[in-house]
């Protein structure tokens, strides 16, 4: 059973930040609560104060700009992102990822900000955002700061968010020309969380077809979502072939630090990384060639 708490529903961001500053470790923030309420029901999390920010409409938006890319408010729901017309071309991978996230019900109420702040290494959004070179805007009474998504999660369910800070926005820059990004996760039941998740983004040189830039982001393969930088190095500056992608997959599997749990062994997770990096890379390449 959930332990009793004091409920606060600030009406503005400023109000919310003021409350966070006041209560710090005594409080928790609830947005969609799709992850938080499970923890509270099990009494793993028992705040004295619960700050409900779900009503802060100023944080609920999806804005696209021809030069700056997409800005997603932390309170945008997974469903809104899934259905957003802004998720096209280079951003279509975001809509696709959201479509396979949990269930319609969870997506209708859960927010992308809440998902990222939960710090689950198996989460779907983080690897995709990392592949898309996204950054996070974080606010507190002390001011604002930005941090790349790939630096945000520090350990299992632990993020770089300070007790008085709130995630306000996710910034996804416009992909460079000839960039393709794809994401795939492995699971046994269709809507299940990732046993292993892989996002790959490839940028090709115009005309040359040589890889100018590569990003390989792994989910559920380490204590945090991670970039397989050595594997990216395998692709950098080369012409991408199936063989090269397989090689990148093998390297990525050595960079991963997966665990063994009831879903899969660490060894098998490494095998999945190999396979998925090659497959997702191939899809990303096809998209880059069309872009």
Partner 1 sequence: MKRELRLTVNGQPYELYVKPKTLLVEALRKHLGLTGTKRGCESSSCGACTVILNGMAVKSCSILALQANGAEVVTVEGLADGEKLHPLQRAFLDYGAFQCGFCTAGMLASAKVLLDENPKPTEQQIRECIDGNICRCTGYNSIIRAITAVVNGEYKEEK
Partner 2 sequence: MSEYSVIGKPVHRVDGPAKVTGSAKYTFDIELPNMLYGKILRSPYPHATILNIDTTKAEKLVGVKAVVTGKDTLGVKNGVWRRFPELCDEEILCRTKVRYIGDPVAAVAAVDEDVAEVALDLIDVEYEMLPAVFDPLEAMKEDAPQIHEGVERNINVTRRIEWGDVDEDFKKCDFIREEQFYSTPQAHLCMETHGAVADFGYDGKLTVWTSTQSNYFIQALLAGMLGMREGDVRVIKPPSGGAFGSKFELDSAQFCAALLSQKLRHPVKIILNREEEFTATKRKTPMNYHVKVGAKKDGTLLAKEVRVITEGGAYTAMGATALYLTGFYSSLPYKWRSYRYDGYRVYTNTAPASALRGFGAPQAYFAGESIIDMIAEDMKMDPLEIRRKNAVTPHYEVPGQAYIQSCGLSGCYDAVEQYMKERGKLPANRGIGIGNYGFMSGGVFNWFDTPYAFSAAMVKINIDGKVDLFTGACDTGQGSDTALSMICAEELGVHLDDIRIHAEDSNIGPADLGAWGSRQTLMSGNAVKMAAADAKRQLTEFAYAKLSPNVVYEMDIKDHWIYLADRPERRVSYFDIVKEAIRAKEGQVIIGRGHYTPHLKGMVSPAWGFGVQAVEVEVDPETGKFKLIEIFTAHDCGQVINPVAVLGQVEGATMMAAGGAFCEDQPSDNGKILNPSIADYKVIRSLDMPKTVAIEVETYEPEGPFGAKETGEGLTSPTGGAIANAVYNAVGARIKDLPITPEKIFKALKEKEHQKGKRVK
Q: Residue 78 to residues 81, 87, 112: CA-CA distances in angstroms?
A: 5, 12, 6
Name residues contacting partner 2, limited to 194-253 (CB under 8 A): none
Q: How far is the CB of 269 from partner 2 (least distance, A)?
A: 9
What residue spans of 87-241 are helical by DSSP H? 92-99, 104-109, 112-118, 125-131, 229-235
168 binds partner 1 (CB under 8 A): no
268 binds partner 2 (CB under 8 A): yes
Q: CB-wise, 66 or 189, nearer to partner 2?
A: 189
By CB under 8 A, name the one of 12, 14, 26, 37 that touches partner 1: 37
List all residues 6 or more positions away from 261 whose beta carbon is below 8 Å from its beta carbon.
Answer: none
Q: How far is the CB of 2 from partner 2 (least distance, A)?
A: 9
Angle, CA of 190, 194 and 197, to the nearest 5°: 120
Taking alpha carbons only, the member of 137, 138, 110 closest to residue 124 is 110
R_g (Cα) of the chain, nearest Å: 19
By CB under 8 A, name the one of 140, 275, 283, 291 that touches partner 2: 275
Query: Which residues of this protein are in contact with partner 1, per CB under 8 A?
Result: 2-7, 9, 30, 33-34, 37-38, 40-42, 50, 52, 54, 79, 99, 102-106, 108-109, 190-191
Query: Which residues of this protein are in contact with partner 2, per CB under 8 A?
Result: 1, 38, 186, 188-192, 262, 264-265, 268, 271-272, 275
């Amino acid at each position: 059973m959930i332990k009793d708490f004091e409920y606060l529903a600030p009406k503005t961001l400023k109000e919310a930040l003021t409350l966070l500053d006041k209560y710090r470790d005594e409080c928790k923030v609830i947005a969609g609560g799709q992850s938080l309420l499970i923890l509270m029901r099990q009494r793993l999390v028992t705040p004295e104060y619960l700050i409900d920010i779900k009503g802060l409409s100023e944080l609920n938006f999806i804005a696209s700009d021809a030069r700056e890319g997409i800005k997603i408010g932390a309170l945008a729901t997974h469903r809104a992102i899934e259905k957003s017309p802004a998720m096209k071309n280079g951003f279509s991978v975001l809509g696709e990822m959201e479509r396979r996230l949990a269930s319609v019900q969870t997506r209708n109420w859960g927010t992308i900000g809440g998902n990222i702040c939960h710090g689950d290494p198996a989460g779907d959004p983080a690897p995709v955002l990392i592949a898309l070179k996204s950054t996070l805007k974080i606010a507190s009474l002390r001011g604002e700061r930005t941090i790349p998504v790939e630096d945000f999660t520090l350990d299992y369910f632990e993020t770089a968010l300070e007790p008085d800070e709130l995630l306000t926005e996710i910034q996804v820059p416009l992909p460079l020309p000839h960039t393709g990004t794809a994401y795939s996760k492995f699971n046994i039941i269709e809507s299940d969380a990732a046993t292993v998740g892989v996002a790959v983004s490839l940028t090709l040189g115009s005309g040359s077809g040589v890889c100018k830039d590569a990003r390989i982001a792994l989910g559920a393969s380490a204590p945090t979502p991670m970039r397989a930088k050595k594997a990216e190095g395998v692709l950098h500056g080369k012409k991408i072939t199936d063989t090269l992608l397989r090689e990148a997959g093998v390297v990525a599997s050595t960079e991963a630090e997966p665990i063994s749990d009831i879903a899969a062994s660490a060894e098998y997770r490494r095998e999945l990384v190999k396979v998925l990096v090659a497959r997702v890379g191939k899809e990303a390449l096809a998209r880059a060639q069309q872009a």
